[in-house]
Amino acid sequence: MLYKRNLQLNKHGELIHLLSTEGLPRGIITQVLDTASNFVSVSDREVKKVPLLRGKSVFNLFFENSTRTRTTFDIAAKRLSADVINLDIAKSSASKGESLLDTIANLSAMAADIFVVRHGASGAPYLIAQHVAAHVHVINAGDGRHAHPTQGLLDMYTIRHFKRDFANLTVAIVGDVLHSRVARSDIHALTTLGCAEVRVVGPKTLVPADIAQMGVRVCHTLEEGIRGCDVIIMLRLQNERMSGALLPSSQEFFKSFGLTPEKLHWAKPDAIVMHPGPINRGVEIDSAVVDGQQSVILPQVTFGIAVRMAVMSIVAGNGS
Amino acid sequence: MLYKRNLQLNKHGELIHLLSTEGLPRGIITQVLDTASNFVSVSDREVKKVPLLRGKSVFNLFFENSTRTRTTFDIAAKRLSADVINLDIAKSSASKGESLLDTIANLSAMAADIFVVRHGASGAPYLIAQHVAAHVHVINAGDGRHAHPTQGLLDMYTIRHFKRDFANLTVAIVGDVLHSRVARSDIHALTTLGCAEVRVVGPKTLVPADIAQMGVRVCHTLEEGIRGCDVIIMLRLQNERMSGALLPSSQEFFKSFGLTPEKLHWAKPDAIVMHPGPINRGVEIDSAVVDGQQSVILPQVTFGIAVRMAVMSIVAGNGS
Amino acid sequence: MLYKRNLQLNKHGELIHLLSTEGLPRGIITQVLDTASNFVSVSDREVKKVPLLRGKSVFNLFFENSTRTRTTFDIAAKRLSADVINLDIAKSSASKGESLLDTIANLSAMAADIFVVRHGASGAPYLIAQHVAAHVHVINAGDGRHAHPTQGLLDMYTIRHFKRDFANLTVAIVGDVLHSRVARSDIHALTTLGCAEVRVVGPKTLVPADIAQMGVRVCHTLEEGIRGCDVIIMLRLQNERMSGALLPSSQEFFKSFGLTPEKLHWAKPDAIVMHPGPINRGVEIDSAVVDGQQSVILPQVTFGIAVRMAVMSIVAGNGS
């Protein structure tokens, strides 16, 4: 996928857009995580701001609704002292029949610096990155089933924070892998960082047939999937995306793949449990696990701000 | 209500959350009003900003829609130099089935400093205050029929501004008391500040049967209610909350309890007229009174910004 | 229209509100354009901010939805370091039955400095300007079919930028003139700036019968309209505003009045093509023209930020 890698990097190999963790060199991922670790402390300070993006304009372009993800980018940009423009695209000129690229060209002409893009169509942020002016940087905040790279990077930050080294880790990704852009972004990043074993765990209807090609081990029982694991990433059961044919019921799913305190014993005693949120308690994960000692779900949220600050400050510093 | 008082104050008796004027010590109310008086002048200055909350994150969490109240908190936070995140909760993860407390836990993990909460359910801000991290402060911006403490405090500020001392005042609260969180917050604050007499005025269907227990005098005619009063607080007739059974018609209501220039003569000649807005001209109050010399409705709005600045700066300065 | 001119200017002849380009003296228009040219460079700088409106509150009051125009004012105000409050009026107290003037009085009492008003009713910004407190400035961001003065001024900026002098120019305004507030604002400004010839071009059903009284030449064929022109301003075909009776079909319209590369040859070889956006490609204008060498549509957007910064900084500096 040389093409995609080139689009994200300039000729010096520096990050100018973040579109996918696929094709992102290990050095760039490490740069993001190292930069983020400096920003984690910013959120603990009395004055939670650094002037790195002062006078820059960050446009949140959410073609698909996501208050949660938009809020994390909003906070991250404001803590970098940027001006943030939140565009509710459903209400905008798009509804007057203007094309995506005309909307983007117009916003570029307003001297935008960063576009944060959430779009229902896989690949939309690529299309945008190919057409923006040279001074504009694009960050993918989730496109269709394709990628959610800042979630992937904050997951890597979380794993590194709690487990230090990827070389000896076994990581299980459990649940609705089929519809999950998070799973894809995690797998690419884990592979690049040299994770010893990545397992993909779920019923056959929710695991893509060709996923083994990504270098993962496919498991169709939870016990096989998480036994001896260091890290368990539970995926949200995307009720709204599934047709009834894929799953008998959410109760059935919980019985087979829902993570309970008892089943968690299959993993290593110091295994950590992650979830990208929002959580369906009692559907893919039991409340006792969410609130238990091995859960690092809330630290993920905290690290997510720092990782987004890192990505924005890095791309803004690199010319095309 | 010792329990509720403790939740608002830390062990040093300092304000850490503002949930209700009930149980708020007189010293705290006076501290808010005194602090607000310093902020009134800020809005008159060329540069209407002070750096007290620079680098702090204020989240406006409006589970119930209120552009008006949200705007006043937005302005107050920006004049304190805070970063403001406006969350339209109806659109957020809440609609994906996430629980209130999971939403709050997530936002806390983003290093929020202050949550401003408007919620349709009485008590929701208490539930939130019980569960937030130690560094987070909660301000109730209206919960069900229960309380609207910043409105109560801005009403106290307005009365003190125009009448100086509460000890000899007679204050009438007129209209739809049954559905009014403003009435409750005003009564608690007036009682704590030593107001000589508080009257509650309205038809039997719109005055709760047990309200006399709050130490107020109940009057079922406007003449009895406002005769000799120093302060008249007119309540909005909440058409949207009433079933037809409570009231024959708004015209009937206006005939009996609507404040006209003629009826205003029953009060003291220097009585002031207040209203929390938005006003229904010709329903609970005549236009000539709204725009007349005794009306202090617009000063209430101005003081409201200063009072909200005061509350935010005070709670942000106090550790749990 | 002495009345309207007086409302926009104080007794020293300085701009205090921008309501229309009609009645705006040539000296004021020139002041806006000259000031804007200083701000164009601000958007090119590393830190795209100047502190001219620091601590001022700009309220975007959009009674009619327009993400595009609202965004340009939002960016312009933030680049002047103002605090921006975006009010979604459809959701606000207006929907609780509060009158326009009560809403305005309330917002004024919050110590607003500038109201940016978009309203579906022609004249609404005038009504507001007549009633605001002395310290508040009103900028019309489009009212009904009446006026869109900042669009008019940014069009003048664009023409001056590319053509220098208005004295020898022929400018054609093409399309749905009947429903266009942009056309009206352009005609007034062009006339005041001494433009040699202004042509209005469109089918009889979309050109007001009395428009020749404004000093323009009316043309009912595109060839007559743009032959020998220096500047062509294409108007958006406002599908949403037209009843079927006015136009057989958009295809018919394009055949007669749509601007194609071939038809563009009728104009001078160095003619520029403008459009206020959003563009309907293939309806009023061919894609090849939009993206062609003579198109200055994106520079218009860039200049629009600078012109709005100019208008806000000028009115904020002038007392009533």
All partners of chain B with 3 or more CB pairs under 8 angstroms: A, C
Q: Binning pLDDT at 50, 70 and 90, where does residue A91 land? A: low
Question: Considering only CB atoms, which chain C residues are within 8 Å of B299?
Answer: 109
A302–B97: do the CB atoms touch at under 8 Å? no
Q: Binning pLDDT at 50, 70 and 90, where does residue C98 land? A: confident
Report whether pLDDT(A4) > 50: no
Report whether pLDDT(B5) > 70: no
Which member of B55, B96, B110 has the closest CB to residue A305? B110
- What residues contact C181, with CB distance under 8 A and at least 6 apart? C142, C143, C144, C145, C146, C147, C148, C151
Which token pair is C180?
Answer: 């266009």
Report yes or no: B93 at the A interface, CB cutoff 8 Å. yes
Give the residue from chain B lying closest to C83, CA to CA.
B78
Report yes or no: A74 at the B interface, CB cutoff 8 Å. yes
Q: Binning pLDDT at 50, 70 and 90, where does residue B90 land? A: low
Report yes or no: C44 at the A interface, CB cutoff 8 Å. yes
List C-alpha distances in Å: C284 to A290, C146, C222, C251, C259: 57, 22, 12, 9, 6
Polymer length in residues for chain A: 320
Report yes or no: B298 at the C interface, CB cutoff 8 Å. yes
Give the residue from chain B lying closest to A298, CA to CA.
B109
Is the distance from CB of A185 to CB of A20 less than 8 angstroms? yes
Give the residue from chain C lying closest to B239, CA to CA.
C96
Mean pLDDT, range A59-87, rounded to an integer: 92
Report whether pLDDT(B140) > 90: yes
Interface test with C, best of B43, B47, B71, B302 (most C CBs within 10 A): B71
pLDDT of residue B250: 80
Question: Considering only CB atoms, which chain B residues are within 8 Å of C99?
Answer: 281
Give the residue from chain C lying closest to A88, CA to CA.
C67
* Residue among A248, A246, A264, A170 nearest A204 (CA): A246
Which residues partner with B18 through β-bridges?
B139
Distance CA A306, CA A221 (A): 35
Strands C57-62 and B272-274: unpaired
Task: State the count of interchain CB pairs (< 8 A) between A and C.
Answer: 74
Give the residue from chain A lying closest to B58, CA to CA.
A75
Interface test with B, best of A45, A241, A283, A301 (most B CBs within 10 A): A301
Helix or strand (DSSP H, E) at B85 = strand B83-88
Interface test with A, best of C70, C72, C75, C291 (most A CBs within 10 A): C75
Q: Binning pLDDT at 50, 70 and 90, where does residue B65 land? A: confident
Distance CA B154, CA B148 (A): 10
Distance CA C111, CA B19 (A): 27
Which member of B54, B108, B110 has the closest CB to residue A72? B110
- Cis amide leading into A149 (omega within 30): no
Interface test with C, best of B42, B298, B300, B303 (most C CBs within 10 A): B298
Mean pLDDT, range A48-62, rounded to an integer: 94
Is residue B275 helix, strand or coil?
coil
Which member of A88, A103, A105 has the closest CB to residue C298? A105
Which member of B44, B278, B305 has the closest CB to residue C98? B278
Question: Considering only CB atoms, which chain B residues are within 8 Å of A289?
Answer: none
All partners of chain C with 3 or more CB pairs under 8 angstroms: A, B
Report yes or no: C79 at the A interface, CB cutoff 8 Å. yes
Question: Considering only CB atoms, which chain B residues are within 8 Å of C97?
Answer: 239, 278, 280
Report yes or no: A262 at the C interface, CB cutoff 8 Å. no
Report yes or no: C51 at the A interface, CB cutoff 8 Å. no
Report whether pLDDT(C238) > 80: no
Distance CA C238, CA B259 (A): 48
Report yes or no: A90 at the C interface, CB cutoff 8 Å. no
A281–B102: do the CB atoms touch at under 8 Å? yes
Polymer length in residues for chain C: 320
User: CA of A198, closest CA in chain B: separation in Å?
Assistant: 27
**pTM to 2 decimal places:** 0.93
Report yes or no: C275 at the A interface, CB cutoff 8 Å. no
Distance CA A191, CA A23 (A): 11
Report yes or no: A45 at the B interface, CB cutoff 8 Å. yes
B302–C88: do the CB atoms touch at under 8 Å? no
A49–B55: do the CB atoms touch at under 8 Å? yes
pLDDT of residue A89: 74
Report whether pLDDT(C82) > 90: yes
Provide DSSP, A129-195. Answer: HHHS-TT-EEEEEEETTTB-HHHHHHHHHHHHHHH--STT-EEEEES--TT-HHHHHHHHHHHHTT-
User: CA of C93, closest CA in chain B: separation in Å?
Assistant: 6
- The answer to which of A4-8, A77-81, A240-244, B53-57 has the lowest mean pLDDT is A240-244
Residue tagged 């005194």 (tokens): B34
- What residues contact A27, with CB distance under 8 A and at least 6 apart? none
- Model pLDDT for residues B172-217, shown as the tens digit of each residue: 999 999 999 999 999 999 999 999 999 999 999 999 989 999 999 9
Report yes or no: C133 at the B interface, CB cutoff 8 Å. no
Question: Considering only CB atoms, which chain B residues are within 8 Å of A65?
Answer: 91
- Cis amide leading into A278 (omega within 30): yes
Report yes or no: B106 at the A interface, CB cutoff 8 Å. yes
Which member of B46, B67, B74 has the closest CB to residue C55? B46
Report yes or no: C52 at the A interface, CB cutoff 8 Å. no
Distance CA A175, CA C111 (A): 53
- Model pLDDT for residues B302-318, shown as the tens digit of each residue: 999 999 999 999 999 99
B47–C57: do the CB atoms touch at under 8 Å? no
- What residues contact C33, with CB distance under 8 A and at least 6 apart? C153, C156, C157, C160, C307, C310
Question: Considering only CB atoms, which chain A residues are within 8 Å of C45?
Answer: 55
- The answer to which of A92-96, B266-270, B312-316, C56-60 has the lowest mean pLDDT is A92-96
Higher per-residue pLDDT: C4 or B228: B228
pLDDT of residue C2: 40
Q: What is the CA radius of gyration of chain A?
A: 19
- What residues contact A214, with CB distance under 8 A and at least 6 apart? A187, A188, A191
pLDDT of residue A299: 97
Question: Considering only CB atoms, which chain A residues are within 8 Å of C84?
Answer: none
Is the distance from CB of B81 to CB of A274 less than 8 angstroms? no
Give the residue from chain A lying closest to C304, CA to CA.
A110
Which member of A87, A105, A108 has the closest CB to residue C67? A87
B106–A45: do the CB atoms touch at under 8 Å? no
Q: Binning pLDDT at 50, 70 and 90, where does residue B9 land? A: very high
Is residue A85 helix, strand or coil?
strand
Which member of B45, B240, B301 has the closest CB to residue C109? B301
pLDDT of residue A254: 92
202-261 in chain B: CB under 8 A from chain A: none
Give the residue from chain B lying closest to C51, CA to CA.
B47
pLDDT of residue C4: 47
Report yes or no: A88 at the C interface, CB cutoff 8 Å. yes
Which member of C91, C109, C111 has the closest CB to residue B48? C111
Question: Considering only CB atoms, which chain A residues are within 8 Å of C79?
Answer: 55, 83
pLDDT of residue A1: 41
Mean pLDDT score of chain A = 92
166-195 in chain B: CB under 8 A from chain A: none
- The answer to which of A73-82, A256-265, B58-67, B301-310 has the lowest mean pLDDT is B58-67
- Model pLDDT for residues C139-197, shown as the tens digit of each residue: 999 999 999 999 999 999 999 999 999 999 999 999 999 999 999 999 999 999 999 99
pLDDT of residue A5: 47
pLDDT of residue A230: 98
